[in-house]
Amino acid sequence: LYEAEIEEIDQENGTAAITFSGYGNADVLPLVNLKPVEEGNDSEELGGDKPKSKKEMVAQQREYKKKKALKKAQRMKELEQEREEQKVKWQQFNNRAYSKNKKGQ
């Protein structure tokens, strides 16, 4: 079952031109294949995670971007810490190699 909007009804042929709400596809179907929308079963209730207004949609998008930015900042912090550890290891190795070289001269 898909929710659609009836654009035109042809009584002579017993068909209706419809456009599917969520998809935008247009089609011509026999009237016997169409069912009325049940009151307690709106598409808004079925898609519960879908915001109802532009304001809610913007707020949800802002929250998503905020979480994404926090994750990115955490990931960058971890990468920077890992680079710092590698740098320290290299410096320690280089200092040992340099000090051994100096003692031999």
**Do residue 33 and residue 55 come from a single domain?**
no
Q: Are residues 41 and 15 in the same domain?
A: yes
Residue 43 shares a structural domain with residue 78: no
**Does residue 58 share a domain with residue 33?**
no
Residues 26-35: tens digit of each pLDDT: 999 998 888 8
Q: Which residue type, as a one-letter code, is found at position 22?
A: G
CATH number at residue 36: 2.30.30
Which tens digit of pLDDT belongs to each residue from 39-98?
A: 665 545 455 555 578 899 999 999 999 999 999 999 999 999 999 999 999 999 998 887
Domain total for the chain? 2
Residues of the domain holding 15: 1-49
Q: Are residues 34 and 65 in the same domain?
A: no
CB 4, CB 24: distance < 8 Å? no
